[in-house]
A and B are shown apart, each in its own frame.
Chain A
């Protein structure tokens, strides 16, 4: 078996050195009657070629976005990834290293994460960022827990413009903590009244821009209202490319910013693994969850990096830790960071313009289709359209024509009949004019 170096002779010699008669004897502490020898209903080992063939067969059972005009968003956006990103993250020194607990032999990962933290601060307009979280949804939950720690309050308010998965994960994670969670109804028009609901009982208000339905918001007034009531403002961003063009949440007065980083550097991979970016105001750093890399010097006085402020973490604080998190999403953070490094200031700004212009162009084409109405206010690269019939049916009919045309909102909100005909449509730099025309033509046929 190709992954196992020991030979039969090795095993015999080693057993001899140990003084055991057989490998089975080494398992003597396991009660004999439960040692299940050979009772697994599973196949035996296979060569590399056979496994590869099995996966190729699986791949052919799905419709790859590479083979179909694709306009899917709802929190996951298809972007072109420069070839250098994947080549670099596949270097074994990055791919196969552990969490950098031994800083003398982990300066590569540590410096890269320090740069990542800096990039996240610059993109979000915040002061401090951690070394990443599992994803944006779990990072939102961590933000709510952090706000409760900081304010010592037991209530959280979530906007109806937040991604429903983020909302569900926040609610799940708070369910058993005694922190009340009030979420507003889904808000495709961006008309909910958050300002009027801010009260001194709240630990935080959680909002998102661009919102789940695509709409843009400036939360400056909300931030002021929150701060007047001692409430933290948590701003989520599902599409980091938007930060190349939009006013960053830090400038709006956000206290905690959470970003889904997976648009940059990572393949869609059916939604995971991704990476959650997490940035806060400096005064809250000791209440922050997750790993942090800090700069220091070695015994020769040379600049270097270490994991720091670990007294917040579970391996030191156990049940009093700020979070139970141990692993972060290191390799995804690295991929994000390399993509951002390649883009630079001008590249990211331009990528954002290309995305926005693609979405504007698509919205104009779709608005001309009979029965289709663009819903809501200003958007970045995604918007909602109201269709004359249920969006789930339309999406299936488009897929049958080889087009991944949009995401039906009913997939998230099956019990809201008023959202049944609503479809989210995204456009990125990957969409050609021909793609858009194909969608328009197919939609006309489907809606006839």
Chain B
């Protein structure tokens, strides 16, 4: 049961973060929210082969839906997460039905155009979203009526971590189901899958909806934990950064998505405190390095190394 071990490790690392960095729980919660976004990109890019630079549109849809619901009196946190997931899934369906009409570069451009359109729409509809000031004043009621969201973010972090573990387990089932295998098949060779009698478009659209729900949960978590929703949650920059995290960790593995997020955001927190432009140079160099040296990301690199060592042992033995 390697998956069970993996899930235990995720929970253990999360709890270690809780005990080791009690002053940085807001950052850790942010990492969890972004990790959900990166997982959602992994579903469409890593498992279906649809490259997207606009996934923050789905993250933002969840964040704004949860935020608006909360301001209007729906303050139960689990309900808010559900609202975020539904809003993300709907936005995912919308985005998928537009993006899947095109291929290759046109598809990438469509994803960028969609996230920019969402950004402008959120900016324009300031009566609902607060525009460029952001949507503030979210008063979330205590979880299960018992655990209030405190100033130090303890409840928010533990809530986020449990959400992440829950979503991760659900996604493990999704990607190893016949549906998940079919998605991988489409990534490898869509024409062959079509020739075998499967419908490509509905399968990909379904994955887009699932991915949207995951991104929406991330957005709702960000809204609940920070109590504001800003325009930056529907930005091209967030989408591009999230894609970079995924590639850093490794496409097509759920563990890679998590590892990439933690490493990227941890470094960002340290380096950008010194000078934000040093951080840009570093990310750039890192990206070039990953493309040249480890095209399948850190998890791919680890896999190559472990395979090489076991093969070496086998040869000698």
A, B: real partners: no
